[in-house]
């Protein structure tokens, strides 16, 4: 009797042991991991694959910088073309006095313009303006674009990034911009002067001027007088952009002051 009862208990024990073993084997791996100090670890989470960042997700800083440079080039080119075309008759008259022995005066300048109008027609006052545009458009475009770039470089160098430059860096930025533009476009200025003071039969086009000068006088002639020109451009461009940036800063300050005062007044009246 006792033997049967013992055999029954052993059978029940083995059945319970098999059942618990099967349950533990089917449990998740992370639930069975137990540290040495008896503390059960939490679920182990593996990082998912990181999605690669494509070019579409990157900030469009490069595109904005390109648009900024393009806007500077186009704005400078248009401003230079309009301004130079408006004063083309006066510019041609100035060159005529420079190559003649006549003494300049306002009365003589008026007489020269009037005689040119009577003898050669109204549009003759703009003779050589196409060559002027070939020189002025790239000159103004390069000058304005270079000025913006030099401002950024000097601003980062002197610690004025995103702020208005102090007077000396303003002057330097303008001088460097004018020098850069003059170095690139100086041969076009020589061609413009030649076409403005020579008869129509001598040169048929701008390309013809370049060809004849390079063949008959040499390529160095295209840069004749470059040194005194640069010595004049450095202070001229520097003071020009210095004055422009200074007046712009003063105007912006006044506009901000007036705008703040107007806002406060309207707030009080409202």
Check residue 158 and give its pLDDT: 76
pTM strictly above 0.85: no
Check residue 263 and give its pLDDT: 47
Check residue 3 and give its pLDDT: 45
pLDDT in tens, the chain (270 residues): 544 444 555 454 444 445 444 444 444 444 444 444 444 445 545 454 545 544 444 456 678 878 888 888 898 899 889 988 998 888 888 888 877 777 888 888 888 888 888 888 888 888 878 777 888 899 999 999 999 899 888 888 777 666 778 888 899 999 999 999 999 888 887 777 777 677 777 777 778 888 888 888 888 888 888 899 899 999 999 999 999 888 888 877 665 554 444 344 333 434
Check residue 123 and give its pLDDT: 85
Check residue 179 and give its pLDDT: 94
Pick the closest to residue 182 from 140, 219, 220, 147 (CA basis). Answer: 140
Check residue 39 and give its pLDDT: 46
Check residue 60 and give its pLDDT: 64
């Amino acid at each position: 009797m006792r033997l049967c009862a013992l055999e029954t208990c052993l059978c029940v024990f083995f059945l319970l042991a098999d059942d618990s073993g099967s349950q533990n084997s089917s449990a998740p791996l992370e639930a069975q991991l137990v540290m040495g100090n008896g503390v059960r670890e939490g679920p182990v989470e593996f990082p998912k694959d990181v999605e690669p960042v494509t070019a579409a997700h990157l900030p469009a800083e490069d595109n904005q910088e390109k648009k900024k440079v393009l806007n500077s080039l186009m704005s400078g080119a248009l401003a230079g073309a309009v301004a130079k075309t408006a004063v083309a008759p006066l510019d041609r008259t100035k060159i005529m006095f420079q190559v003649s022995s006549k003494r300049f005066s306002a009365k003589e300048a008026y007489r020269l313009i009037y005689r040119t109008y009577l003898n050669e027609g109204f549009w003759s006052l703009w003779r050589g303006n196409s060559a002027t545009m070939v020189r002025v458009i790239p000159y103004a475009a390069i000058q304005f674009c270079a000025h913006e770039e030099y401002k950024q470089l000097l601003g980062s160098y002197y610690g004025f990034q995103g702020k208005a430059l102090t007077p000396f860096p303003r002057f330097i930025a303008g001088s460097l911009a004018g020098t850069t533009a003059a170095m690139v476009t100086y041969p076009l200025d020589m061609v413009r002067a030649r076409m403005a003071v020579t008869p129509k039969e001598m040169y048929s086009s701008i390309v013809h001027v370049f060809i004849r000068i390079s063949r008959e006088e040499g390529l160095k002639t295209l840069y004749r007088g470059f040194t005194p020109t640069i010595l004049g451009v450095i202070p001229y461009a520097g003071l020009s952009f210095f004055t422009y940036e200074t007046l712009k800063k003063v105007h912006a300050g006044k506009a901000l002051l007036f705008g703040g005062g107007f806002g406060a007044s309207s707030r009080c009246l409202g």
